[in-house]
Structure 1
Amino acid sequence: MNSEIKINKPTPVGSDIKFSTFTENSPIGETIKSLENGKYVLVDEMYKNGLDLLHEIQGYLKKKFSGNSFQEQREFRKEYRELSHRVLIRIKEHKLDVKKAPSIGWLEKLYPSTPNFILTLPDIQGLNSAWQWNKKGIVLPVLRNKVHPYYGVYFPTRFDHLVLFDNWLKRYEGPKKAAYDIGVGCGVLSMQMVKHGFQKVFATDTNPNAIVGLAEFMGTTKLSRKIELDYGNLFAKWEKPHELIVFNPPWLPIKSDADKYDSAIYYPENLFPDFFKDAKNHLAEEGQIVIIFSNLAEISDTTTEHPIQKEIEEGGRFKLELKLTKSVKKASDKTKRNIHLRESEKVELWVLKHQ
């Protein structure tokens, strides 16, 4: 693994940015209009003041985008991102410079030589949430131990697709010498394969935080000898064919500029063609490709094209060996996703072999 990997982290706000101060007594309406006009505000006095402002921004935008369509929700998220990222908080000596603020260990860990700077409040919220998850760890139904995701690394908050993969692994009767895990994230799929007897997993990711975080999590344990990591696109530096390739890509195609900020959820147009082209040379003769996907894009009318089905019908490289589906569990009352979509959503497990 490359020891010179540069971590992704929020970029401090430039010193040339001009801002007004926002306190408990600042007029909400005028502040939101100021944000809409491209101005910045710095939260002062209490951390809660910033949270209250974000809450008011959400309420304002919910009235503006009152529909429930998937597209309108996208527009809401895009504008909320723009406005909320103009709300700032100052950091002094790696601490938030407001009262009753959370203590966030990432501030010192990710910015060791920069004790004083300014970040956007959404970036602060992301760092805080990630710190809590990293400290507490996450229990997954398919693993014996908790995972402790690093900052900026996607981790599953729903588990239907993991259960589907675990059930497939239980019935897998092929060789278990080596496998690829493309887009390793916090390492769940790799750890599932190790749990089910794979001797070696070669895991890659284009997110440097995933590689650094997983290496730190594994340390010098037995797991670190079972899972080898490389920072890079698709198969990265590895060329040798293996008997299993596992791929859990994003489930929605990029449709707007805002989507590009979340590479764990949205995939670029070239992802699947590039993957299948490279997989052809990385799959052993009798090997299998397992792709974990969802029908979310189809039921949300995001696209009528299924990238895996298209490869099977037009690619000329692979044939379908097996397709499994599983309905997702009922949405929580707290979920932000459309409930009517959740009711018809299914996770998919596709098994492909060479033509």
Structure 2
Amino acid sequence: MSSLPETEILPVLQWEEGDAVRSMRWQSESGVNPPRRVVIADDTMSADAAFRLASEGTGLLWRGDYQNARQLLQAMVRRIERKPRKTADAPRDAFNLHRQAQSQRARTLGMLLMEVSADYTLALRRAPDIRQACNEAYGAGSTPFVVSLREILGLIGAHEWRKTGVEIASLGTKIHPYYGVFSPVRGEYLQLVADAPLPARSLAFDIGTGTGVIAALLAQRGVEQVVATDLDTRAISCARDNLSRLDLRDRVEVIQADLFPPGKAPLIVCNPPWIPARPSSAIEHAIYDPDSRMLRGFLQGLKAHLAPQGEGWLILSDLAEHLQLRTREELLQMIEAAGLSVIARLDTRPVHARASDASDALHAARSREVTSLWRLAVA
């Protein structure tokens, strides 16, 4: 695994198998603690028994056929979906119930466990080769560990996305997301960046670059130099890789920074997480922003980093407003308190499947969602 400070204590999973007590390092991308109780599971375990044990918080360490484990996980999903969903009239309550249900679902399904060797192999019948997917996500291996099957499936899916890429219409090419880096699947906000009038073409900052897609789009539009920032090391690597693929590394510099790089620019762009709530995994930091930390930080620091007559572009969904988690008045107050004014606003409606899915728990809010590019200037 990637190197860690000597003082960091890695979580350990312990279980009984045969006549011995065994233990192994625990791996959880979402930071979930290892289950306190573990039983050995194989092809003879029924879906009902597995679901009951997992619902009670018992880990199921799999020793059977890999493909049978995948089928068992799907059977557990079906049992969760059969349960009546709690509903609420108030949007905020509906959101909280939705998050609770998501959390419980993740805990239950995360109880089906796999042992992975130090070289990232699975010693199971019909197991796939996950070595490259693990190396891409975790770095070089060093010690065996136990991880949930769900996380393994996530690794495999992320590897396929990274390999094949995601088509970006406004770029006219593909972006290759890394594991743990949010994929730019919602193209409507990128089209706003493609359509907004540029205040200058000399320099731009892209704050929280992620895959580097906005930085690439700005460079493609003719901005001569772009400085893209992110705190996450995976995002830094991902953005640099994508910009190299697009032959833009000579025009886009990617640096690790908390929000702003040094200096000033005539254009500063930020697409912060749009929902003020706590994320439950690394990738959810692109969606959930506790107390609107990144949004507030961007607005409060914008004035000091904008060149004269410069613009700050805030790209933000209003979903939080429809969920009653933040009001439009609060957003406007943040802008005013930061010494900024609104020049103009470009709006678009989402085209992703959830926006029209009436069965979605948050459909009432999603159906009214608007994503905006706020053109901001120093007041």
Interval of TM-score (by shorter of Structure 1 and Structure 2):
0.7 to 0.9
Give 1:276 shift: 1.8
Please tell me whether residue 252 in structure 1 is matched to residue 275 in structure 2.
Answer: yes
Give 1:12 shift: 8.6
Letter in 2 for 1:102: P
Please tell me whether residue 121 in structure 1 is matched to residue 149 in structure 2.
Answer: yes
CA deviation string 1:50-90 (max 9, x = no partner): 33333333333334451353332211111112222222112
Structure 1: unaligned runs, 5 residues or longer = none
- Please say if residues 291 and 351 of structure 1, whose CA atoms lie closer than 8 Å, have aligned partners that are also in contact: yes
- Please say if residues 182 and 283 of structure 2, whose CA atoms lie closer than 8 Å, have aligned partners that are also in contact: no
Letter in 2 for 1:97: A
Give 1:316 shift: 4.9
- Please say if residues 331 and 339 of structure 1, whose CA atoms lie closer than 8 Å, have aligned partners that are also in contact: no
Give 1:329 shift: 2.0
Choose which of 341, 344, 361 in structure 2 pairs with 1:322.
Answer: 344
Give 1:221 shift: 6.8
CA gap 1:228/1:330 in 2 versus in 1, 3 angstroms:
closer
C-alpha RMSD of the superposition: 2.8
- Please say if residues 77 and 109 of structure 2, whose CA atoms lie closer than 8 Å, have aligned partners that are also in contact: no
Give 1:240 shift: 0.8
C-alpha distance in structure 1 between counterparts of 2:3 and 2:166, whole Å: 25
CA gap 1:134/1:337 in 2 versus in 1, 3 angstroms:
farther
Aligned position for 2:302: 279
C-alpha distance in structure 1 between counterparts of 2:141 and 2:167, whole Å: 34
Please tell me whether residue 88 in structure 1 is matched to residue 88 in structure 2.
Answer: no
Tell me which moved more, 332-341 or 216-225: 332-341
Aligned position for 2:40: 21
SS of equivalent to 2:224? coil
Aligned position for 2:33: none
Please tell me whether residue 103 in structure 1 is matched to residue 103 in structure 2.
Answer: no
Q: Note the 1:169-208 alignment, pairs <5 A.
A: 172-208=197-233
Please tell me whether residue 303 in structure 1 is matched to residue 326 in structure 2.
Answer: yes
Give 1:115 shift: 6.5
- Please say if residues 330 and 343 of structure 1, whose CA atoms lie closer than 8 Å, have aligned partners that are also in contact: no
Please tell me whether residue 145 in structure 1 is matched to residue 173 in structure 2.
Answer: yes
Question: Normalising by structure 1, what TM-score?
Answer: 0.86
Please tell me whether residue 224 in structure 1 is matched to residue 243 in structure 2.
Answer: no
- Please say if residues 150 and 214 of structure 1, whose CA atoms lie closer than 8 Å, have aligned partners that are also in contact: no
- Please say if residues 154 and 186 of structure 1, whose CA atoms lie closer than 8 Å, have aligned partners that are also in contact: yes
Please tell me whether residue 66 in structure 1 is matched to residue 85 in structure 2.
Answer: yes
Percent of residue pairs identical: 26
Give 1:336 shift: 5.7
Give 1:134 shift: 0.7
Please tell me whether residue 241 in structure 1 is matched to residue 268 in structure 2.
Answer: no
- Please say if residues 108 and 115 of structure 1, whose CA atoms lie closer than 8 Å, have aligned partners that are also in contact: no
CA gap 1:307/1:126 in 2 versus in 1, 3 angstroms:
farther
Count of equivalent residues:
341
CA gap 1:197/1:191 in 2 versus in 1, 3 angstroms:
same
C-alpha distance in structure 1 between counterparts of 2:115 and 2:335, whole Å: 52
Question: Normalising by structure 2, what TM-score?
Answer: 0.81
Aligned position for 1:159: 187
- Please say if residues 201 and 227 of structure 1, whose CA atoms lie closer than 8 Å, have aligned partners that are also in contact: yes
Choose which of 64, 67, 75 in structure 2 pairs with 1:45.
Answer: 64
